[in-house]
Amino acid sequence: MERVVHLAGLLRRPLVGGDGEVVGRLSDLIVRLRGRDYPLVTGLVARVGGREVFLPAEQVADLEGQRITLVSPRVDLRHFERREGEVLLRADVLGHRVIDVADVELVRAYDIELEQRPDGWMVTCLDTRRPPRLRGVMGGRGGQPDWRDWKSFEPLIGHTRSARVRGPFARLGRLKPADLADLLEEANRTESHEILQTVHADPELEADVFEELEPDSQLRLLRERTDAEIAQVIARMRADDAADAINELPQARRQPVLDALPAGQRTKVLTLMGFNPSSAGGLMALDVLTATGSARVAEALRAAGEARTLQPEALTSVYLVGEEKQLLGVITLVELLQADPKAPLEDVVDRDPVRAGPDTDVEDVALLMTDYNLLTVPVVDDEDRILGVITVDDVLDAVIPEDWRRREPAPRPPHHADEPTPGPPPHDTPPHS
């Protein structure tokens, strides 16, 4: 028969010896992290005579019932001092926020479930549903406890005391950049610092995450870095997003960051900074897949396959250009796949592509995309030379009203792709350690 207790109900319970004498009261439980295994209870913190003392787990005969029974009433009265890597369930987890990996949100742990297994008592579940008695005070949902596997969460986020023994949050690196950006925008300073430390291990992912951040959050996180560190992130961002990021920096920091960028990225960023940020020129991507009229369909497809440095959202079409880069036509990749591989491009392209000038308002670009069912629109100068391409994701980002962004997000569908493989559920046959 499974033996389960809940931390909220254990706290302040009396600790009694075999003779029934009250020794003290439970103040906290100490656990040892074990990687992918459930944390194991290694001791208790008891309040005895006005001080907190340590009791090893082996001294506990029973955690169930209205009293916690000890093997012996003898207690070492030296003041409890936390050791490196120890986690205190009440002080460090209960009431603190954890990351729900499947739903990609920060939630609070309102109770902790422990189960007795052959190795001892271990943490198996968290309850993140606010108790009914707190609804009126704190707002939000409440109701019956919602016990979920400990392994569904990244607990101890922002908890520096245990960072060394926990290691990096490997599962966070598998989340989408937009999801990580959402977490950062919701996190406090300590939490966001630790999330960023994990993301920083993958520079490309770090740049993608900063691209997804709202401008105020992006600026808040960038301002805490040196100019060289900002440049390292911006160097890997898309040029249009990099230009926006630099424009948001305080005036005194813009030029030092620009000077620290690689020459190629600096040139692109300076080009885009010359346009109104809300115009087609300010939003366009400068890298475009072009071909000349003498090229054939097969060559264009091969070029698309090899264009690994181009922004994927911009790689929906191939643009036919003349000797002076004048825009002569466009063909989508789908149309290329369906065309005769030996056919010349000039025979299969649309000779009158929809286009926009660099000063075109983003709202007008959005209307063009809607009217012609486009994912991208080329941007051309007065001589019809192609300057870049504006993508639908950038247009949506610019035209979605600000109050829409603050709406409560729609419920996420069931999602298990990023979940760990936790083994048997907490109340099934215990795993071997």
**Residue after which a domain boundary falls, among 40, 70, 88:** 88
CATH number of the domain within which 326 lies: 3.10.580.10
Alpha carbon distance 104, 174 (integer Å)? 11
* Residue 249 in domain: yes
Assess whether 300 and 396 both reside in one domain.
yes
- pLDDT 10s digit of each residue in the chain, 433 long? 568 999 999 999 999 987 778 989 999 999 998 878 899 999 999 999 889 999 999 998 888 778 898 988 788 888 898 888 789 999 999 999 999 988 889 999 999 999 999 989 999 999 998 776 554 444 444 557 789 999 989 887 767 667 666 665 656 767 899 999 999 999 998 889 888 888 888 899 999 999 999 999 999 999 999 999 999 999 999 999 999 999 999 999 999 999 999 999 999 999 999 999 889 999 999 989 999 878 999 999 999 999 988 888 889 999 999 989 999 999 999 999 999 999 999 999 999 999 999 999 999 999 999 999 999 999 999 999 999 999 998 899 888 876 676 556 566 555 444 444 444 444 443 333 3
Residue 361's pLDDT is what? 94
Residue 304's pLDDT is what? 93
Question: Cβ(96)–Cβ(108) under 8 Å?
Answer: yes
Show the CA angle centred on residue 148, arms to residues 142 and 153, nearest 5°. Answer: 105
Assess whether 288 and 395 both reside in one domain.
yes
- Specify the amino acid at residue 403: D
Assess whether 244 and 311 both reside in one domain.
no
Distance from the first to the final alpha carbon of the chain:
20
Take residue 1 and report the two structure tokens written for it: 């028969």
Residue 426's pLDDT is what? 41
* Residue 61 in domain: yes
Residue 429's pLDDT is what? 34
Secondary structure element (H or E) that encloses residue 138, with its range: helix 135-138
- Specify the amino acid at residue 242: A
Its domain, for residue 41, covers: 4-88
Question: Cβ(269)–Cβ(285) under 8 Å?
Answer: no
DSSP 341-406: TTSBGGGTSBSS---B-TT-BHHHHHHHHHHHT-SEEEEE-TT-BEEEEEEHHHHHHHHS-HHHHT
Residue 407's pLDDT is what? 59
Q: Could you tell me the CA-to-CA distances from 332 to 59, 222, 349 in Å, in that order? A: 72, 37, 9
Give residue-wise pLDDT tens across range 7-20: 999 999 999 987 77
- Strands (DSSP E) contained in 226-339 are 290-291, 317-321, 327-332
**Residue after which a domain boundary falls, among 59, 88, 117:** 88
Closest by CA to 350, choosing from 370, 324, 376, is 376
* Residue 407 in domain: no
Beta strand pairing call for 290-291 and 317-321: parallel
Assess whether 305 and 268 both reside in one domain.
no
**Residue after which a domain boundary falls, among 274, 293, 324:** 274
